Structure formats: C-alpha cells, structure tokens
Amino acid sequence: MSNFLFVQKILWIRTWRSVISFLSMAQRIKISCINKDDRYSAYEKISHVGGVNDNGTRWKLTLSEAIRSIENGNYSFYTSVGGHTRNVVVPTRNGSKYLRTEADADTPDNLLSLPECP
C-alpha cells in the first residue's frame, strides 16, 4: 500500500471515530426544578426532575426515567445553584438508586434545594 493510501485510510478512520464519538455523546441537560414526595423534608425522595428547553418549553422526567437516561448514556444532567455547576450522578443506597449532585454527598443542597416543578 502506498503512503498516500495509508494516510488516507488513517484520516478516514479518525473521521469516523470522531463522528461515532459525537453521536454517542450524552446530551447535557440542566435540571432546574424537582418534585419530592414531601416538599418540606430535606431528605425525602425526589419523584421528578425538570427544566426548560432552549425554545422555552418545559420538560419533566420521573426519577426512573432520569436514572435510566443517565445509565444508558442518553443524557447527562447538571445543576447550577449559587453560581456552582454540579454534575448529577446515580448512586445506590440500601439497594435503591437515586439522584444527587457530585458535590452534596450527605448534605441536602444543590439538587434538593431546587424549586418545585410546575
């Protein structure tokens, strides 16, 4: 194989790897509101997360849908509270999966402090 064809093949492979990587990237979405089972309890379970799309329409997912979306790599969520942006992760406690931000290990802030979704 000539050097020219070899270089073309490498460039073609790199191009397709970039395209595949781009297509497989999770869409990053800001969570700006939540619904909890008990709104006034700092530690109650989140039932829904939501936010606003670029076009101004609202979106809302159940806890299960949000967890599944993260685990499947479809979406990655984040919050922005008080000027601090934090990624939302899916930990497990006592066999149950839940959502929290990376920054609030045991403190009820960031995700849990967001306003109620309509």
Q: Domain residue spans in the chain?
A: 27-113
CB 102 within 8 A of CB 90: no
pLDDT at 93: 85
Q: Tell whether pTM > 0.85.
A: no
pLDDT tens for 56-109 read: 999 999 999 999 999 999 999 999 888 888 899 999 988 889 998 986 555 556
Q: What is the DSSP letter of 75?
A: E
Q: What is the mean pLDDT of residues 11-40?
A: 69
DSSP SS3 for 22: helix
Work out the mean pLDDT of the chain and round it to a whole number. 80
Measured distance CA(39)–CA(23) in Å, rounded: 38
Q: What is the mean pLDDT of residues 43-64?
A: 92
Q: How far apart are the first and last CA of the chain?
A: 63
